[in-house]
Structure 1
Amino acid sequence: MSSLAPLMGRLSQVFSPRLCMFFSTLLISAGTTVTATAVTFEHFIVGRVITGAGGGGIFIVASIMAIQMTSPKRRGLYMGLANTGMTVGVSLGAVIAGALEPKIGWKPLFGIQAPLSLLCGIGIFFSIPASHTSKNANYVDLSIREKLACIDYSGALLLTTTIILFLLGLSGPRILPTPLILSAFALPIFILNEIYAAKDPVIPVTVLRSRGTLLSCIATVGLMMARWAILFYTPVYALAVRGWAPAVAGSILIPTNAGFATGGLLAGVFHIKRTGSFYLHTLTAMALFPVTMVVIAFISTETSPWGLYVTMVFLNGLLTGAAMNYALVHLLHLTLPDVHPIVISLLATFRGFAGSFGSAIGGGFFVRVLHRSLNDGFAEAGLKNRGDLIRRLLGSPALVGRLEGKDRDVAVNAYTAALKALFLAAVGFSAVVAVVQAGTGWKEPVKKEQNLEEEEVEGEEGLVAAA
């Protein structure tokens, strides 16, 4: 999903957002079908890869359309609605899947999604006006063959390789140096390819030379990586520490995603009704985000007030939704209109990175802390021969609820310690993100024509002074 998201952003410019959205839904339908018919683990993973390839285009293309098809006055509203659609899907997916899987099994659960995705894709295709095509004039009169020739296949392959190696090195119970080293070699090759070899690069590196664009993208991926710690590990908290059933544990995502949707909509409906700088608003939301993470880190215990926990995850989502909406509109203020489609694609792409980066890197960190805490806890309790139990606990937080006595106490304490460490790491990370966002600035760019006029005036003044 993360590695193919940049390519989908570029394809929506080469072809049209309408076709790219329809193609993405077809991939999701095919991927869920493959997953539902899996008979081996490898078969299952192939299905998830195909599904992720389709998912890489959905939100990016939706974001591009929300910007292109709306006026600046209503842009914030429709971006808030796009965020709401995504976050409602995440919430309902977790709850519905948790409720249905014990009753119908995982294969039918994936199988149901295939026809639904196909129907949604057909509905989207006929709902989007055929007149809504790429806004890039360079591709309007090209044939399909010429458009396909414009795609930066080498850049897409190099970027995919770089991301996969990077995530592989950091996502497991042990940090693997070889994939990280190979990723470090692949990244500069990708950058050189985009600058010197690619005629139509996947990620236009020249656009990232803008300080506002580069820092906005980095801040977005950083904030959303910290945000994914909430999305992935508050249900783990509910399962392992609180002892909730899987179907109920997924409901913890409802308040935080409701907050995310509310924050985006409030900012879009009541405030973002103009173009211009939203520097202070973006910075304020990002600076308050780690405050909520600190509180969540210290109340992720077995005895903390449940009402307080729901309130804090709601506020965490509220600040994230508002920050994402403000950051997008502020970035449009920092860049020239002719690069807005590229900038939107870049920002959405970096935001797409966050899901995989947050789950892989954060998950690897969490598992390493949990493994150490379980080993130390069982050793201090004098419980021996717990290697197999530790292995199963690392993969199944729901197993904690089936333990008794000292085994359960050690497991609960280990999960509590690992969650606290992860959330505090997210606090430090998101604090750095706020500093990065502060570096974006608030001044709009000066157009080239204006620069030339100023240079001519300065030149004339210099000649007069010399005379």
Structure 2
Amino acid sequence: MSSLAPLMGRLSQVFSPRLCMFISTVIITAGTLVVATSKTFEMFIVGRVISGAGASGIFIVASIITIQMTSPERRGLFIGLINTGMTAGVSLGAVIAGALEPTIGWKPLFGIQSPICLVTGLGLLLSIPANYTSNGNAYVQYSLRQKLVRIDYSGALLLIATIILFLLGLSGPKILPEPLILSAFALPLFVLNEVYIAKDPVIPVTVMKSRGTLLTCLAAVGFMMARWGVLFYTPVYALAVRSWAPAAAGSILIPTNAGFAAGGILAGVFHIKREGSFYAHSVIGMALWPVTMVAIALVSTPTSSWALYMLLVFLNGLITGAALNYTLVHLLHLTLPEVHPVIISLLTTFRGFAGSFGSAIGGGLFGRVLYRSLVDGFADAGLSDRGNLVRKLLGSPALVGKLEGTEKTVAVGAYQDAIKALFYAATGLAIVVTLVQACTGWTSPVPKIEPEPEETIAGEEGIYGGT
């Protein structure tokens, strides 16, 4: 999903956002069908890869369409609405899947999604105007063959390789240096390809020369990586530390995603009704987020108040939704209108990276801390022969609730240690990216036209037929 996401902004310009959106839903339909009918683990993974390839185009293309088809006065509202749609899917999907899987099994659960995705894709195809094309589209008059020739295949392959190798090196319990080295080698090759070889680069390097663009994208990656720590690991906390059922654990996502939706919509309805700078609001929003993260880490214990926990994750989501809305409209202020389509796809791509980067890097940190805490905890309790149990606990937080006595005490403590370590790391990352966002500036690149001095106008009365 993350490796193909950067290509979608360019593909939506070469072809059309409407077509890219429909094809993405068709690919997801095929992927879920492969998963539902898989009989081996390898086939299951193939289906997930196909589904991820389709999912790469959904949010990015939807964002481009939404922003381009709305006026500045209503842009903030519609950005909030599209974020609401995304976050509602995340929260409801977790809850519904957690409730249905024990009853119907995982294969029918994926099988149900396939026709739903196809119907949704057809609905989008019929809803989006057939004559709609992305702003600044220079490919409208091109034939299909000419469009296919213009695609930057070498840049796409290098970018995919860079991202996959980077994630591979960071995603396991141990950091793998070889993929990271190869990723570091592939990245400059990608940049050189975009600068000197590609006719239509995947990510135009000239856009990255904008300080506001570069720093906003970097801040977005870090901010959403920290945010994904909440989305991935608050349910893990509920499963392992509080021993909640899977459906109940997934319900933790409801308040944080409700807050996310409310924050974006409230900012759009009551404040973002104009073009211009939203510098202070972007920085303040990001600065408030680490405060809620520290509070969540402190109450991630077996005996804390569940009501307080729900309130904190709601506030965390509320601030996230508002901050993302403000940073996007502020970036549009920092860049020229003619590059806004590229800027939108670029920023959305970087935000899309955060899910994979957050799960890979955060998951690697979580797994390492959990492993060490389990090993040390069992050794201190005189249960050093629990290697098989450690392996199972690393992959199944729900297993903690089935343990008893000392084993359960050690497992709960280890999960609590790992969750707190991850949340404190997310707090530190959020503080850093707040400083990055503060360096974006507030000056628009559009030159202002200075009025002529009054004496000059008065001295040219003859030209204007003065009295």
TM-score (norm 2): 0.95
CA distance in 1, matches of 2:443, 2:133: 31
Q: Give the aligned partner of residue 434 of structure 2.
A: 434
Structure 2 spans left out of the alignment, 5+ residues: 451-467
Identity score, percent:
74
Equivalent residue, structure 1, for 2:11: 11
Q: What corresponds to 2:415 in structure 1?
A: 415
Corresponding residue of 2:52: 52
Cα deviation for residue 384 of structure 1 reads: 2.6
1:428 match: secondary structure: helix
Aligned pairs for 1:2-151 within 5 A: 2-151=2-151
User: CA-atom RMSD, angstroms?
Assistant: 1.1
Q: Is the 8 Å Cα contact of residues 290 and 427 (structure 2) preserved in structure 1?
A: yes
Structure 2 contact 169–176 (Cα < 8 Å) conserved: yes
1:64 and 1:345 in contact (8 A); partners too: yes
Quickly say closer, same or farther: Cα 1:322–1:37, change in 2 above 3 A. same
Q: CA deviation at 1:38?
A: 1.0
Give 1:194-209 correspondences, 5 Å limit: 194-209=194-209
Residues 96-122 of structure 1 deviation map (CA, whole Å, 9 limit, x = unaligned): 000010111111100100000000000
Q: Which amino acid aligns with 2:30?
A: A
Structure-2 change in CA distance of 1:319 and 1:72 (3 Å): same
Tell me if structure 2 keeps the 8 A contact 1:169–1:178: yes
SS in structure 1 at match of 2:47: helix
How big is the shift at 1:438?
0.3
Residues 292-312 of structure 1: CA distance to partner in whole angstroms, max 9, x if unpaired? 100111110001111110011
Compare 371-380 and 136-145 and name the one that shifted more: 136-145
Deviation at 1:450, TM superposition (A): 7.6
More helix by share: 1
Contact 1:14 1:136 in 2 (8 A): no
Contact 1:260 1:317 (8 Å CA) reproduced:
yes
Match of 2:320 in 1: 320
Other-structure match for 2:227: 227
Question: Retained in 1: the 8 A contact 2:136–2:338?
Answer: no
Q: CA deviation at 1:134?
A: 2.6
Please state whether the residue corresponding to 1:327 is helix, strand or coil: helix
> What is aligned with 1:373?
373
Post-superposition CA distance 1:199-226 (Å, at most 9, x none): 1011111101100000000000110000
Q: Deviations over 1:245-300 (max 9, x none)?
A: 11111000000000000000001111100000000001000000011100111110
Which residue identity does 1:306 align to in structure 2? W
The letter of the residue matching 1:187 is: L
Helix, strand or coil at the partner of 2:184? helix
**1:348 match:** 348
Q: Which whole-Å CA distance do the structure 2 matches of 1:115 and 1:368 have between them?
A: 39
Is 2:245 the counterpart of 1:241?
Answer: no
- Residues of 1 paired with 2:205 and 2:388: CA distance? 48
Q: Does the CA contact (< 8 Å) of 1:6 and 1:346 recur in 2?
A: yes
Equivalent residue letter for 2:148: L
Match of 2:174 in 1: 174
Q: Distance in 2 between matches of 1:87 and 1:135?
A: 27
For 2:77, give the aligned amino acid.
L
CA distance in 1, matches of 2:156, 2:49: 16
Which aligned runs of 4 or more in structure 1 are off by greater than 3 angstroms?
Answer: none
Whole-Å separation in 2 of the counterparts to 1:173 and 1:384: 20
Amino acid at match of 2:359: S
Distance 2:289 2:176 in 1: 31
Q: Aligned equivalents of 2:134 and 2:267: distance in 1?
A: 28
Q: Shift of residue 137 of structure 1?
A: 3.9
CA distance in 1, matches of 2:289, 2:424: 12
Q: What letter is aligned with 1:406?
A: T
* Number of residues of Structure 1 aligned to a counterpart in Structure 2: 450
Q: Hey, what's the Cα distance between the residues in 1 that align with 2:348 and 2:43?
A: 30
Does the residue aligned with 1:206 lie in a helix, a strand or coil?
helix
Partner of 1:457: none
Could you say what secondary structure the match of 1:258 adopts?
helix
Give the letter for the 1:31 counterpart: G
CA distance in 2 between counterparts of 1:312 and 1:156 reads 41
1:287 and 1:105 map into 2 onto residues whose CA distance is: 43
How far does the alpha carbon of each residue in 1:355-394 deviate from its partner, in whole angstroms, 9 at most, with x for none?
0000011001000000000011011111131000000000
Cα separation, 1, equivalents of 2:338 and 2:387: 59
Residue type at the aligned position of 1:260:
F
Structure 2 equivalent of residue 398 of structure 1: 398
1:135 Cα deviation after fit:
2.0
Paired AA for residue 2 in structure 1: S
Q: Is the 8 A contact 1:134 1:140 kept in 2?
A: no
Partner of 2:307: 307
TM superposition shift of 1:140: 1.5
Q: Which amino acid aligns with 1:396?
A: S
Check conservation: 2:255, 2:310, Cα contact below 8 A: yes
Q: Contact 1:28 / 1:54 at 8 angstroms: preserved in 2?
A: yes
Asked if structure 1 preserves the Cα contact closer than 8 Å seen for 2:28 and 2:114, the reply is: yes
Distance 1:84 1:312 in 2: 19
Displacement after TM superposition at 1:446 (Å) = 3.5
Alpha-carbon offset, residue 320 of structure 1: 0.6
> Are 2:384 and 1:384 equivalent residues in the alignment?
yes
Amino acid of the residue matched to residue 55 of structure 2?
Answer: G
Instruction: Give 5+ residue unaligned stretches, structure 1.
Output: 452-467
1:332 corresponding residue in structure 2:
332
AA of the residue aligned to 1:65: I
Distance 1:205 1:254 in 2: 39
Q: Given that residues 74 and 268 in structure 1 are in contact (C-alpha distance below 8 angstroms), is that contact kept between their aligned partners in structure 2?
A: yes
Whole-Å Cα distance in 2 between the matches of residues 137 and 421 of structure 1? Answer: 46
Counterpart-to-counterpart distance in 2, 1:73 and 1:13: 25
Aligned positions of 1:259-338 closer than 5 A: 259-338=259-338
Q: Which amino acid aligns with 1:152?
A: D
Deviation, 1:42, is: 1.1
> What code does the residue aligned with 2:362 have?
G
Q: Matches of 1:368 and 1:93 in 2, distance apart?
A: 28
Matched, 1:216 2:222: no
Q: What is the CA deviation profile of residues 26-61 of structure 1, one whole-angstrom value per residue up to 9, with x for unaligned ones?
A: 010001001111111111111111101111000001
Q: Partner amino acid for 2:25?
A: T
SS of alignment partner, residue 138 of structure 1? coil
In structure 1, distance between residues paired with 2:137 and 2:261: 34
TM-score by length of structure 1 reads 0.95
